[in-house]
Each structure stands twice: as C-alpha cells, then as structure tokens.
Amino acid sequence: MKVCLLNDSFPPVIDGVANVVMNYAKIMTEDGLAEVEVGTPRYPDTDYTGYPYRVVPYQSFDTTKIVKGYRAGNPFVISELKNLADFEPDLIHSHCPVSSTLLARMLRTKTEAPLVFTYHTKFDIDIAKAVKSRLIQEGTIKALVSNIEACDEVWVVSQGAGENLRSLGFEGEYRVVNNGVDFPKGKVSDEKIREACKGYDLPSGLPVFLYVGRIIKYKGIPMILEALGKLKMDGYDFRMVFIGSGPDMDESKEIARQEGLLDSTDGADKAIFVGPIYDRDLLRAWNSRCDLFLFPSTYDTNGIVVREAAACGLASVLIKDSCAAEGITDRGNGFLIEENADSMHNLLLKLCKEPELMKKAGSRAMNEIYISWEQSVKEAHELYGQIIEKKKAGLYTTKRHRFAGNIKEITDDMVLETRALINMPTRIYDDMLDNVEEFKIDMELNTEEFKKLLRENYEDFRIKRANLKKKTYDRLYNMFKF
C-alpha cells in the first residue's frame, strides 16, 4: 500500500496536526504497513531528506511575520503535483481543509486514488473571532464545508468534532478515528523528574497542577487563574505550572499577578510559566511530577494533552460535555466541572482536602483512556484498506468524487472556493494552527502584495481579486484539458 499524507504544517514547524502526520508516517513506515510520502509547504534552508519516508515540499509564500513563523502553501503547483502523482499513491489523506485538500483533490484527479480528510479543529470558533461580518463568516464556512464534502471519506477526532462539523452544514457521513499519544504508559523515574524540574520552586507535599498548550484565553486560562486565586484566599498552598506559549502570555501573567499568584509580596510565586517544551521526554517528566491536569477548554476537538497526562497517571479537570471530556467519568477517571471559575475552585478545594482522590483518578485514567499512536495508526491502516476496496468496487461515483469528464465544473468550484478563502483575514490562519490544526492563506500572491491589496480601496481590490480568479482558472483549465 502507498499512502500520501498532506498537511500545511510539518517540521521545522511543530504543532498538533504536524505531530499527527509525523506519527502516521513514522509508524506506517517502521512497521511495514505502507510506503508513505508527505506533501507540505516548503521552508527555506530546510533539509527534507533525512526522513525514513518520502517528503515532497511544494511552493510556499513568506507569511512568517503575519502568522508567527508559518508559511502559506500554494496548492496550484504543477511540478510538485506531478512529483506527488509519480509516487502512484493508493490512498490520499489530507489533514487541512484548505490548501492541502485543494491539492489533494487535484492529486486524486491524476491518480484516481480515494481521498480521506480528517477534521481536527473547530473552525467556526476561529472564524467568528476573526471575522465580524456574518455574511463573510457564512461564506467562508460554506467554502470550507464544500471542500470537505468533496472528499471520499471524512474522519473526525471525536464525536464532538463530528457534531461541530455537522452544525456547519456538512451533510455527509463521518467516522470517529481517535488520535493516539506517543508517551509510553507509566511515570518516568524520580531522577528524570528531578532533572526536568531543577531550578523550579516545587516543594514536596504541595499539590502541583499542570496545564500544557497554547497560552490563549479561549483555552480557559483566565478561569484557571481566577479559581486558583480563590484557592489561595482559602489559605491553601500549591503550585500551578503552565507549559506553552501563545499570544495571551503577557495578559495571562498580568491576571496571575492580580490574583496574587505571581510576583506576590506575601510569599513564593504559585504560578510558574515554564514556556514551550519541545523535548517529549522532558514533557513526560513534567506530567509525571504533577498531581492534576487542568484543561477547561471547550475549543479543542480531541485534547491529546489529556491522553498524554493519562499516560503518566495524571487525571484531568475538564468542562462537562466538552470534546476533551469524551470518555471521562466524573470522580472516576477524571473530574468534570461547569464552565466557570467557581465550579473549578470548589473542586480544587475538595481535592486539596482529599489528595488521594487525584491519585486514584489518575490511575484509572492511565488504564481507561490511554491510547498509543501504534494502536491508532493500525486502526487507520485497516480503514485505509477498506476504503481502497470500496474505490475498486466503484462506490465513490458521485459528481464531486469524479473529476474525469467534469474538469471544468470542478475547476470552477475550486476557483470560487479559493476566492472566498482569500477574503479571510490572516488572523484566521494563526488561530487555526493550534491542534493541532489550522488555516493557510489560499492564494498565489506573495505576502507584501496581499497586505497591499487589503490597504487599497474596495473597488480596486475587487478588480484585482477578479483578475486573480481568471488567472487561477486559466492555469487549472490548461492543466486539466485533454
């Protein structure tokens, strides 16, 4: 079996979805399940030859100053499309609904391989945050859903993610395929814990809480800090460790100061901002050191960090009915709260009085919700085989699944979708790059030209956008004409 994986992020950029793609590629290659190629936007001065699988970097635009280190991929790349097609994949799997999926659809045209898409991120939340116009929001979401519906099979990382996708207007079928974690089950040694935490004030006997992820408000950071401020007022001592970086770091630290958790005059800091940790062994050691994982996010569709904590015997505090809380039983293998600081405060107050409850829940979490990447990828590989057989049986025969004979119609669809995506502010791109998941600016203009167009008056921008549509249409039509 030959599998082509497509995603808009890949080393040197490391994020949640890049981690998914790397684990898929690594495990399928090492276990002899499939030959793998990965298609991803090219980064300058990056060596893509050192992987045990084939990596095909394609043209990208420098948007690093706008989107904090990320480049935008150009899906309309004829030479790299041919390079990907020469691999003759039996199956294509896209992990981004914009550039990667547009490229995947064109690759499907050339290879006739079935196309799988995995939905990782609640895009409507990011779109609503970035775009105030209801009309533009609806148009953007419609373009995304249309691109996703063009795929042969749609996977979601949780039932909640599927429900979110359905709420956006998706009318097709989907399957829940869980992501795994690359932590082995069990805590690391005490020696490794001491080495990882050296230099930090973590007195023995005090409860230590942990958060891992982007430091951004919609992940529930203010709720954590407010709840801990109340716990401090109750007279309890503890430490709260934040691992990660993000756009709301300075504001979060200021909230911590206001709650008396940072730079306090009445004792040691209770909030510790460690910054991002990319070393997986070091991150595992921190999970092994702490007593409870706090993750009050309703944004995340899967919450891999919750499973990583469980691998180390660490139970999590989660919002009731959130996607991250799927599989969690309250006071069993984790703890569920309402989405407010008082609810979290009340729970933490009880757990500080009865710390053995955290240990018991952590043990159950390790045994009940842990799933390894090996298990997850093998399940995906089995599904790949079923999908390939369905393709051979001619079960993917709808208009959207058949490009041959309908090139002009599908080309029009792709051009219109691209046009709608160009209208999105670049803020969407930055927000989507969290899980795990996230947007790339779908355009052939370079960054400076894009910023220039946004500054020009509406009429001039409309004319230039129409010219871009025609240029893109002509390129696609010439590529596909017989």
Q: Is residue 249 part of a domain?
A: yes
pLDDT of residue 247: 84
Three-state SS for the chain is CEEEEECCCCCCCCCHHHHHHHHHHHHHHHCCCCEEEEEEECCCCCCCCCCCCEEEEECEECCCCCCCCCCEECCCCHHHHHHHHHCCCCEEEECCCCHHHHHHHHHHHHHCCCEEEEECCCHHHHHHHHCCCHHHHHHHHHHHHHHHHCCCEEEECCHHHHHHHHHCCCCCCCEECCCCECCCCCCCCHHHHHHHHCCCCCCCCCCEEEEECCCCHHHCHHHHHHHHHHHHHCCCCCEEEEECCCCCHHHHHHHHHHCCCCCCCCCCCCEEEEECCCCHHHHHHHHHHCCEEECCCCCCCCCHHHHHHHHCCCCEEEECCCHHHCCCCECCCEEEECCCHHHHHHHHHHHHHCCHHHHHHHHHHHHHCCCEHHHHHHHHHHHHHHHHHHHHCCCCCCHHHCCCCCHHHHHHHHHHHHHHHHCCCHHHHHHHCCCCCCCCCCCCCCHHHHHHHHHCCHHHHHHHHHHHHHHHHHHHHHHHCC
Per residue in 247-270, pLDDT (tens digit) is 899 999 999 999 999 987 777 899
Question: Mean pLDDT highest for which of 123-127, 364-368, 452-456, 476-480?
Answer: 364-368
**pLDDT surpasses 70 at 180:** yes
Residue 418 lies in a domain: yes
State residue 137's pLDDT score. 75
pLDDT-derived band at 303 (thresholds 50, 70, 90) equals: confident
Query: Where does the pLDDT of residue 481 fall: very low under 50, low under 70, confident under 90, or very high at 90 and above?
Result: very low
Range of lowest pLDDT (14-18, 287-291, 321-325): 14-18
Average of per-residue pLDDT across 372-383 = 95
CATH number of the domain at 231, please.
Answer: 3.40.50.2000
Looking at every residue in the chain, the average pLDDT score rounds to 84
Q: Domain check: are 326 and 448 in the same one?
A: no
Q: Does residue 101 lie in a domain region?
A: yes
Whether 39 and 15 map to the same domain: the answer is yes
Residues 210 and 86 in one domain: no
Average pLDDT over residues 4-25: 88
Is the pLDDT at 69 greater than 80, yes or no? no
On whether both 29 and 159 belong to a single domain, the answer is yes
Does 185 reside within a domain? no
Co-location of 205 and 351 in the same domain: yes
96 pLDDT more than 80: yes
State residue 428's pLDDT score: 43
Residues 106 and 238 both lie in one domain: no
How many domains is the chain partitioned into structurally? 2
Pair (314, 407) in one structural domain: no
For residues 330-353, average pLDDT = 97
Instruction: Calculate mean pLDDT across residues 187-192.
Output: 96
Looking at 368, 403, 419, the residue that finishes a domain is: 368
pLDDT value at position 349?
97
Residue 209 falls inside a structural domain: yes
Of 318, 350, 368, which one is at a domain's C-terminal end?
368
Check whether residue 87 and residue 205 sit in a common domain.
Answer: no
Establish if 113 belongs to a structural domain: yes
- Choice among 131-140, 251-260, 444-453 with the minimum mean pLDDT: 444-453
pTM value is: 0.74
pLDDT at 461: 57
Q: Span 215-231, mean pLDDT?
A: 95
pLDDT score, position 226: 98
Q: Give the lowest-confidence range in 53-57, 174-178, 326-330, 459-463.
A: 459-463
| Residues 210, 111 share a domain | no
Q: What is the pLDDT of residues 421-447, one digit of tens each?
A: 444 444 444 444 443 333 343 334 444
User: Looking at per-residue confidence, does 60 or 382 come out higher?
Assistant: 382
Judgement on whether residues 163 and 198 belong to the same structural domain of the protein: no
Q: What is the pLDDT of residue 261?
A: 96
- Are 52 and 132 contained in the same domain? yes
Q: Once rounded to an integer, what is the mean pLDDT over residues 71-78?
A: 82
The pLDDT, as a whole number, for residue 246 is: 86
Same domain, yes or no, for 400 and 260?
A: no
**pLDDT of 158 above 70:** yes
Domain assignment of residue 361, given as a range = 190-368
285 versus 164: which is more confidently predicted? 285
The proportion of the chain whose per-residue pLDDT surpasses 70, expressed as a percent, equals: 79
The pLDDT of residue 126 is: 62
* 69-96 average pLDDT score: 89
Among candidate residues 327, 351, 368, the one where a domain is terminated: 368
